């Protein structure tokens, strides 16, 4: 069972204030205070030189050559966006904030590994919550994988599979199993507690 990777958004606040912040979870209608906090985390991350990609809600393995992924939620999107603006010495506008808050889709991006360059072509991804299967409205994948540092030894190639899931199709507080089915066979499984996503 894959363990949940340390929640980077919360880590920023721990480093800055010495105490953990309340988890945002997957908020569908965040309050003004939650929005401000998410943006502040992103802006403060720049000051401690934390790269924006560490602010995603990561899950899976921490090891470079093992499967992992991240969720892009509304709150997480605000934090990452604010970090990118902060790197340019700017802050996001209200229009930028509203665009993310209006999003109806949560992205689930997974990095998997295979033995051939095209192993991820036509891959599929689904969520399972209890007995319910949640299908994506769209799936994207790398048609050609990238060589890993281990090449020509396994794992030889890595590729991304990205599923787009409507917020109204799943429970944002449930324990969730993420299944990825590479086209060459088999499956990659992650266990994620959505209630603990920052």
Domain ranges (residues) in the chain: 1-23+30-63+73-103, 104-198
- Amino acid 198: pLDDT: 62
Q: What is the pLDDT of residue 132?
A: 96
Could you read off the pLDDT of 72-118 as tens digits, one per residue? 999 888 899 898 888 888 888 899 999 999 999 999 999 999 999 99
pLDDT in tens, 8-46: 333 333 333 333 344 457 888 888 998 889 888 888 888
For residue 6, the tally of other CB atoms under 10 A from its CB is 11
Given this model, what pLDDT does residue 7 score?
A: 34
**Sign of the CA dihedral running 163, 169, 174, 176:** negative
The predicted pLDDT at position 168 comes to: 94
pLDDT tens digits for range 184-196: 889 999 999 998 8
CA distances from 91 to 16, 29, 37 (A): 19, 22, 13
Distance CA 21, CA 14 (A): 7
Q: How far apart are CA 140 and CA 180, in angstroms?
A: 12
Which residues of the chain form beta strands (DSSP E)? 57-60, 68-72, 105-114, 124-129, 132-134, 138-141, 146-147, 157-166, 175-181, 188-193
Q: How confident is the model at residue 131 (pLDDT cuts 50, 70, 90)?
A: very high
Backbone angles phi, psi at 42, to 5 degrees: -65, -40
Residue 70 has pLDDT above 50, yes or no: yes
Q: How does strand 175-181 pair with strand 188-193?
A: antiparallel
Angle of CA points 158, 181, 128, to nearest 5°? 120
CA 132-133-136 angle, 5° bins:
140
> Tell me, which fold does domain 104-198 have in CATH?
Immunoglobulin-like (2.60.40)
- Mean pLDDT throughout 47-63? 86
Residue 108 bridge partners (DSSP): 71, 163
Tens of pLDDT, residues 137-182: 999 999 999 999 999 999 999 999 999 999 999 999 999 999 999 9
Give the span between the Cα atoms of 59 and 67, in whole angstroms. Answer: 9
Judge contact between 96 and 38, C-beta under 8 A: no
| Predicted pLDDT at 55 | 83
């Amino acid at each position: 069972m894959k363990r949940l990777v340390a929640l980077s958004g919360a880590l920023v606040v721990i480093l800055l204030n010495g105490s953990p912040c309340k988890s945002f979870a997957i908020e569908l209608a965040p309050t003004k205070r939650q929005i401000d906090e998410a943006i502040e985390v992103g802006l403060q991350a720049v000051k401690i030189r934390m790269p924006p990609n560490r602010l995603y809600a990561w899950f899976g393995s921490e090891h470079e050559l093992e499967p992992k992924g991240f969720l892009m939620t509304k709150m997480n999107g605000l934090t990452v966006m604010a970090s990118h603006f902060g790197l340019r010495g700017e802050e996001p506008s209200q229009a930028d904030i509203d665009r993310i808050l209006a999003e109806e889709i949560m992205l689930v991006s997974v990095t998997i590994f295979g033995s051939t360059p095209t192993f991820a072509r036509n891959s599929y991804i689904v969520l399972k919550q209890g007995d319910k299967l949640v299908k994506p409205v769209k799936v994207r994948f790398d048609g050609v994988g990238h060589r890993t540092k281990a090449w020509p030894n396994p794992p030889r190639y890595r590729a991304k599979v990205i599923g787009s899931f409507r917020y109204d199709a799943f429970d944002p507080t449930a324990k969730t199993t993420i299944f990825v089915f590479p086209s060459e066979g088999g499956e990659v499984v992650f266990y994620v507690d959505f209630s603990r996503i920052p």
